[in-house]
Each structure stands twice: as structure tokens, then as C-alpha cells.
Structure 1
Amino acid sequence: MKKFNSSVAYILSASFLSLSGCSTMMGDEEVAEQVPVRPAMNVIDITAEDRAPAMPRKADDETQEQGMDAYGAIGQPPLYSSVQGAYKGRPLTKHIGDYVKNMTQDLIANMEYVNNKTAIGVTHFALLDTDLQQTDLLGRQMAESFVHELHKFRVPVIDFKATEYIRITEGGDFVLSRDYLELSSSLPIEYVLTGTMTKHQGGVLVNARILGMESRAVVASAQMLVPFYVVDALIPSDGSESNSMRDGVKLSRG
């Protein structure tokens, strides 16, 4: 009798579990049928600027954009030069020396035969659309900057414009000269760094190379575009020698 009761209880419990399972499955199906199917959403990617809330503009910012000071007076745009037509705008963050530094690294990277025992002379850079006997302030400053950069790489540089004496005048004490009669005619220069310049859209295209004095062979070369705002930052000295003008560029003998 006990065995019969236990078997009946087992059958009843099994049937109860099956009924509860069926009810659960039926409940899930009913819930699934009741949930409405939503249409697919178009996901739009927005930038961080769009996510940021719009900040109210201050009155000071508006007056600064209009070129007004705190009192409402209209001011002049910032001028970072003392000559008319030179670069106007933000202060310079780079100058000619920065571009010469990059060009010197290119020269050193592909340089041949030149070492710490071969002397180099540096000349002014000539304007490409002339007879190669004309230069300007940029060409002269390029040569000065290359002397500095080559010396940093421990390449021996000879300044052939140095005289054998110091000239003392009312204008100052000088050791450099451009008078070839005052300079030495025999110097141990084996290579020379020279180059050309040409006006390009957006700047001045500079070509630099190192030549063998005897072989005339190119042993290193570099090229770079110097922006106009960097070139215009070079300000000629007041009262400098009268130079001819060609296409808006002041020319002078090298």
C-alpha cells in the first residue's frame, strides 16, 4: 500500500511539473506576442563637438573678434614686423634656422666623401631665375644658418670672408669683409655648400647641395619649401645698400 501511494505521488508530482512547464512556456509565448516589434533605428555618429553642450559666448570674445578693446574702440590688427607688407597675424613659431636645420639633416643623411677632416665653405644662395650672381636677404641668412648647423655636426667649416686682422672703425670692430682683395686666395676648402632659390606658390623653394671643388660632383643634396610668412619675417636693415628690385624681390650682388 505504501508502494502504491508513493508511485501515485510520483506520478502526480511529475504531471504537476509538466503542467507548470507548459504554463511557463505558454506565458513566455504570450509575452512575446504582446511585445510590439520596433522598427530598426538609424544610428548617427556625432562628433565630440556635437556632444558637448553649447557654451554661451561671452561679450569679451565677440569684441575681440570684431577687433575692439574692452572700451569698444576698434583697434589695429597685430603687426609683427617693422616694414610694410611683411607678415601680419599670429606670432612666428618657426624661423629660417628651423628649416635650415631640417635641410642639414637631409644633407647629412645622403652625404658622401665628406667627413670630419674635409673642410667645407658655405656660399650665399642664388636666385634661380637670374644669372646666378644675384641673391637677397634670404640667401645670405641661409648661408649663415648652414654654417651654424654644419658646425653642430662637427663638420669643419671655413669662413673665407674672415680677414687676417681686425678692422676698428667708428661703426664697430669687424673681422669679416666682402672685399676679395682683403681675403686669402688659398684656403684648404675641399667642398662647398651652395644652392638656389625660386619663388613658389606659398613660399620659396630652396635647393641645397654640397659640391666637390675639384670634381664638381654633387655629394649631398636637400630641398625644402620655406613659407612666405617665414621669409617675410626677415627684415632688411634700415639704410642698407640700394638694391635693384625685380618682381617685388630686392636683389643684391652675392
Structure 2
Amino acid sequence: MKRRNQYAALSLCASLLSVSGCSMMMGEEEVAEQAPQRPAMNVIDITAADRAPSKPVESTNDTQSQGMDAYGAIGQPPLYSSVQGAYKGRPLTKHIGDYVKNMAQDLIANMEYVNNKTPIGVTHFALLDTDLQKTDLLGRQMAESFVHELHKFRVPVIDFKATEYIRITDDGDFVLSRDYLELSSSLPIEYVLTGTMTKHQGGVLVNARILGMESRAVVATAQMLVPFYVVDALIPSDGSQQNGMRDGVKLSRG
């Protein structure tokens, strides 16, 4: 009888263990199903190039605008001319006329007495460290650009280099002359725009002013530094860069 009771007790314990084991297994499966699935780890080989910080990609406009001054000229190209004067640097977005335009606006802003009924003449800009009787290609071109800018402001400009006839030659047809014997000695010029130029480390410092022909009074002024690479972009028509040079500037009589 005693053995029969022990066998029944052992059978009850075995059944209890099986039931508890099944419940434990079911609990682990339910926990596994409820637990979020983790993504598989992707192991890759990181090279030295991948470890280096990536540089931001610059836009085209930002790249083009680097090295430009306030007027858009590209700054300090490594090679901006050859010995013969042929321009080999990067192309300029602004030329000397754009700098003259800004100077003309400064002149108009502080101009006195000059109006649309006061004729004005424009002369070449002289080199400041000379006897004021010498100029260069820059001084000549600035005078031509000022004639254009003043006319845009409706200021009457008198071209005193114009003759009273047209000269027809094998080289072309011309109405302008530098021979004072061919020019008129009496012109209704009341004011004159003139100026000086000084070589600077960064270019040419230009001083422009408008004077009264009778009073010699200064009625308008302007000043600007023209970068050297803009000045050097002006190429003489004869291509000469050696004769008549002093400190890199070709001198000529005004």
C-alpha cells in the first residue's frame, strides 16, 4: 500500500513538472514573439579615405565669385600677360569702363554748377609723378570712357579733337586729329574733366576732377583704385612693351 502511494505521488509530480515545463516553454515563445526584431548587423571595411571628413561641395556661383573685387573683376591671376602684352590670364568680367562708370557716378553725386547747359571737355589723365605732360594707354582710354558716361547723364560734351572735315586716307577715314593746327581754337567749353594717375601696389590710383575753365575752381571730384590686372588687360595696338617703358608703364605725350 505504501509503495502504491509513493508511485502515485511520483506520477503526480511528473505530471506537474511536465505542465510547468510546457507553461515555461510557452512563456518563452510568447516573449520571443512579443520582443522586437533587431536588424542584422552589417559589418563593412572602413578605409582611411572613408574616415577622412568630407568637404562641402561649393556651388558654381560661389566658386566663380571667389577672388573678385566689389566690381566683379577676378583677383590676382597667376599669369595676367605675356612679355609681348597679349592677355593670357583668366577672362575679366569687368573692364576699365566699369570703373569709370562708378567714378562718373561719384562725380555727378558731388558736382556743382555743371548742368545740361554747360559744355564740358574731357582730357587725358596725366601721370602724377611726371611734369603732367605724359600719359599712357590707361589715361587715354579713361578719357574716352568718361565721354561716354557724361553723355549718358545728359551733360553736353565737346570733343575738341574733332576737325571740320573728314580726312580720307589709305589707312581709313578719320575726323579726329591730334594736330592742334587742324583743330578749332575757340570752343564753348566752360568746364573740363581731367585727372591724374599714380602707380600703386595693388594697381593704379586714379584721381578725377571737373574744373572751371575760367575760375579753375574744382566743382566735382572722384577717386578710385583700378586693379593692376584690369589695367594690364589694355593692350597697345602696336604690341610694343619694351620701348618707352618706365616701371612697367609705357609713356607718351598727351
TM-score range, shorter chain: 0.5 to 0.7
Distance 1:247 1:82, change over 3 A: closer
Which residue matches 2:101?
101
Deviations 1:101-158 (A, max 9, x none): 0000000000000000000000000000000000000000000000000000000000
Which residue matches 2:22?
none
Distance 1:83 1:169, change over 3 A: farther
Distance 1:109 1:53, change over 3 A: same
- Answer yes or no: is the 8 Å Cα contact 2:80–2:232 preserved in 1: no
In structure 2, how many angstroms separate the alpha carbons of the residues matched to 1:80 and 1:169? Answer: 36
- SS at structure 2 position matched to 1:219: strand
Note if 1:148 corresponds to 2:148: yes
Cα displacement (A) at 1:245:
2.1
Deviations 1:38-78 (A, max 9, x none): xxxxxxxxxxxxxx94589xxxxxxxxxxxxxxxxxxxx99
Which residue matches 1:220?
220
- Answer yes or no: is the 8 Å Cα contact 1:243–1:251 preserved in 2: no
In structure 1, how many angstroms separate the alpha carbons of the residues matched to 2:111 and 2:56? Answer: 55
Q: TM-score, normalised by structure 1?
A: 0.67
Letter in 1 for 2:204: V
Cα displacement (A) at 1:176:
0.1
Distance 1:54 1:98, change over 3 A: closer
In structure 1, how many angstroms separate the alpha carbons of the residues matched to 2:107 and 2:188? Answer: 21
- SS at structure 1 position matched to 2:142: helix
**What is the Cα-based RMSD across aligned positions, in Å?**
2.5
- SS at structure 2 position matched to 1:168: strand
Listed as ranges, the matches of 1:33-182 within 5 Å are: 53-54=54-55, 84=84, 88-182=88-182
Query: Unaligned regions of 5+ residues in structure 1, if any?
Result: 1-51, 57-76
- Answer yes or no: is the 8 Å Cα contact 2:111–2:220 preserved in 1: yes
- Answer yes or no: is the 8 Å Cα contact 1:80–1:88 preserved in 2: yes
- SS at structure 2 position matched to 1:231: helix
In structure 1, how many angstroms separate the alpha carbons of the residues matched to 2:236 and 2:85? Answer: 13
- SS at structure 2 position matched to 1:205: strand
Cα displacement (A) at 1:83:
5.3
Q: TM-score, normalised by structure 2?
A: 0.67
Distance 1:152 1:122, change over 3 A: same
Letter in 2 for 1:230: V
- Answer yes or no: is the 8 Å Cα contact 1:99–1:226 preserved in 2: yes
Query: Which of the two has higher C-alpha Rg?
Result: 2
Cα displacement (A) at 1:167:
0.1
In structure 2, how many angstroms separate the alpha carbons of the residues matched to 1:106 and 1:94? Answer: 18
Which residue matches 1:184?
184
- SS at structure 1 position matched to 2:104: helix
- Answer yes or no: is the 8 Å Cα contact 2:107–2:221 preserved in 1: yes
Tell me the matched-pair count. 183
